[in-house]
Amino acid sequence: MSNEFIKLFELILSASLINNFVFTRFLGLCIFFGVSKKMETAVGMSITFTAVMMISAAMSWVIFNFIMVPLDITFLKIIVFIGIIAGLVQASDTIMRKITPGLYYKLGIYLALISTNCIILAVPLVNAGEKYSLLESLAFAFGSGIGFALALIIMASIREKLELADVPAPFKGLPMAFIVTGLIALAFTGFSGLITL
C-alpha cells in the first residue's frame, strides 16, 4: 500500500520537476511562450490547464482501456484522444459559460488554446504507451499539469523583469525567451538522477 503511494508520489515529482515537459521534452512550447508574457494570464492558464489535463487523462484512460483495448482498435488512439480533448474543451466551454459566467470570463479564453497544446495530447499517449493504471495516469497528468504551471509562472515572473531590460535587437522577444528557457532547463538539470522511473 505505502509502496503504491510512494510510486504515485514519485510519478508526480518526476513529471513536474525532473522530466518537466517544457524543460526536458520541449513540449507545450507554443502556449508556453504565448501566455507567459504576463503573470495573470500565466496563472489563469495554469489552473485551467491542470484541470482539463486531469479530466481528459481520466476520460482517455477509461475509453482506451474499456473500449479500445477490448475492440482491438488501439491504432485509432490518436484520433480518439484528440477527439476527446476537443470535445471536452468544447463541452467545458459551454458548461462554464452557462453555470459560472464569472469564472468563464476569467479562464474561458484559455480553453480554446488548450486543444492545441501538445502536452495535453502527450499525456494520454504516454499513459497508454506505459500501460499506467488509472491512479498512475491521474498522478502523471497531475504532475505534468503542475510542471507546466510551474514553468509558466517562473517564466512569466522572469519575463516581467526582462521587460525593463535592454535586450539586443535580434534577440528581442522569442529568441530571448528561448535563451531564458534554456537557462532554466540548465538549472533544472540539478534534479536529474533524483528518481529513477
Least spacing, CB of residue 191 vs another protein, in Å: 7
- Residue 39, C-alpha cell as written in the block: 503573470
Choices 56-64, 92-100, 134-142, 159-167; region in contact with another protein by CB under 8 A:
159-167
Instruction: Check binding of 182 to another protein (CB under 8 A).
Output: yes
Q: How far is the CB of 26 from another protein (least distance, A)?
A: 4
User: How many angstroms separate the CA atoms of 41 and 84, rounded?
Assistant: 25
| Set of cell numbers at residue 64 | 482506451
Min dist. Cβ of residue 105 to another protein (A): 22
The answer to whether 68 contacts another protein (rule: CB under 8 A) is: no
Q: In this complex, which beta carbon is closest to another protein, that of residue 63 or of residue 162?
A: 162
Phi, psi torsion values for 136, nearest 5 degrees: -65, -40
CA torsion through residues 83, 87, 90, 93, sign: negative
Only segment of 55-63, 103-111, 112-120, 136-144 that touches another protein (CB under 8 A): 112-120
Cell of 85: 480533448
Residue 132 in contact with residue 57, Cβ under 8 Å? no
Residue 60 interacts with another protein (CB under 8 A): yes or no: no
| Alpha carbons 87 and 89: distance in angstroms, whole number | 5
Indicate whether 86 belongs to the interface with another protein (CB under 8 A): yes
Contact footprint for another protein (CB under 8 A): 23-30, 33, 39, 75-76, 78-79, 82-83, 86, 116-118, 120-122, 125-126, 129, 153-154, 157-158, 160-162, 164-171, 174-194, 196-197
